[in-house]
Amino acid sequence: MHIIIGLGNPGKEYHRTRHNVGFDVIDVLSEKLNIQLTKNAMHGLIGEGYIGGEKVLLVKPQTFMNLSGQCVTELVNWYKVDMSDVMVIFDDIDLPLGKLRLRKDGSAGTHNGMRSIIGLLGRQDFPRLRVGVGKKPEGWELANWVLSHYQTEEDRKVQFEAFLRAADTVTDWVKNGMDSAMRTANTQK
């Protein structure tokens, strides 16, 4: 089993903001794979299905971003999966808009959701797929930037294409493993 967790904030006011790209990628996966997220458990909205015969859980934590570790820890403890079978998808201000970066492990960087996850799990050896939202413009507060919506139609198009590539990366990871998925994600333009 693979657990695929997209980070975001619950609530309509956060829908389609930069900080919610994890939710957006889960929505794309849900649509492509016909997996409905209908189960509300372990502080998350969960959908069960299959990718290439492999059981997967799609998860959108229903805590706010800074408490994401609560949901992830409960899932890992309940399902007893190997950490290499857990992928977390989240926004990254250090990557250009629409750029993907997949890693086998690593630190939380500046991301509070990842800090929560790593802090509660007590480990950081799990895959993470970062989706670039671009650096904050001069004069913007970081919180205002990540909670903002995309300003132009072009930005929305670039980001939606990134969500599609991220969904393909996740599918590749489940079907073919981490090395193949890293080639898919990390060699994108």
Annotated catalytic residues are: 19
Return d(Cα 16, Cα 8) in angstroms, integer.
10
Within 13 Å and on the Cβ side, how many CA atoms surround 104?
Answer: 7
Give, in order, the Cα–Cα distances in Å from 61 to each of 10, 25, 51, 91: 8, 13, 21, 15
Place of tokens 């073919």: 176
**Using an 8 Å Cβ cutoff, are 63 and 71 in contact?**
yes
Return d(Cα 92, Cα 42) in angstroms, integer.
25
